[in-house]
Structure 1
Amino acid sequence: MNNPISIRRCKVCPAGSKRPAPHPGPRCSTHHREALRSRRSNAHGRMVTRTYGIGPNAYMAILAAQNGTCAICQRATGATKRLAVDHDHTCCPGKTSCGKCVRAIICQPCNVGVLGHLRDDVEALKRAIAVIQDRPAQAVIMGLDE
């Protein structure tokens, strides 16, 4: 005698739904993605609180005050990779922050490539601005043409 194979149904979908639930829970693919998104968001909130001393609401408020973009380049939105919390490393020793030294929410290239590479050196940032605005190489090039 053959036993019919029981098909699991999603526990979140309305009763009577015929959507299969191949994912743990049991959940359909749509509700499985929602559950994963929620778990990731909660984990990020816990990490921000534990590491930087600010809650997930503060993270979202800072990001909203920055119009949802990186504070430096204003291009990155965190849609692909979540934006990082930038803080002053000289304020708090160790791996955690007090929350008072949080400066902004920035993207990975700005965090590592700009601030990290220049090691928060204000004078180096001023020199970078001068290079962009004044184009010092042009004076050298013009001197060669004479």
Structure 2
Amino acid sequence: MRWFKITPEEFGALLEYQGVACALCGSVEHGGRNWNIDHDHDCCQTKKSCGQCIRGLLCASCNGWRLPAYENGPEHLKDSPLVNGYLADPPYKRWVLELEDSKH
């Protein structure tokens, strides 16, 4: 979590916000040791993140091959409303905005 500049409390709150499920496929099983923190690799091209480009928490399958295959695939095949919706409006950004709004 420290690589992504997110605290364990924030991680847990984001997971709750996502319904304790993968933000992409909706699986309630993480499929590994824990949920994977997805971030925009165009922003931070290493395993570490600036913390601003986190998108959501994904299961091992979505983070390991589903999303990378989609993002790296040919443009004419990038027509999934589910994936495009996740990428355009990631849960982490919605969660942060709701937190900020609740403080005002």
What TM-score do the two structures reach when normalised by structure 2?
0.64
Greater relative CO, 1 or 2 (CA 8 Å, sep 6+): 2
Distance 1:65 1:113 in 2: 24
- 1:107 alignment partner, one of 18, 37, 59: 59
Distance 2:41 2:23 in 1: 18
- 2:5 alignment partner, one of 18, 39, 53: 53
Structure 1: segments with no counterpart, 5+ residues: 1-47, 130-146
Structure of higher CA gyration radius: 1
The aligned length equals: 80
| 1:44-92 residue CA offsets vs partner (Å, 9 max, x unmatched) | xxxx02x111111111111000110101111233386311000001112
Structural mapping, 1:1-146, within 5 Å: 48-49=1-2, 51-78=3-30, 81-119=33-71, 124-126=77-79, 128=80
Aligned-CA RMSD value:
2.3
Secondary structure of the corresponding residue to residue 54 of structure 1:
coil
Distance 1:109 1:98 in 2: 24
Q: Percent identity?
A: 30
Distance 1:79 1:86 in 2: 15
8 Å Cα contact 2:32-2:60 kept in structure 1:
no
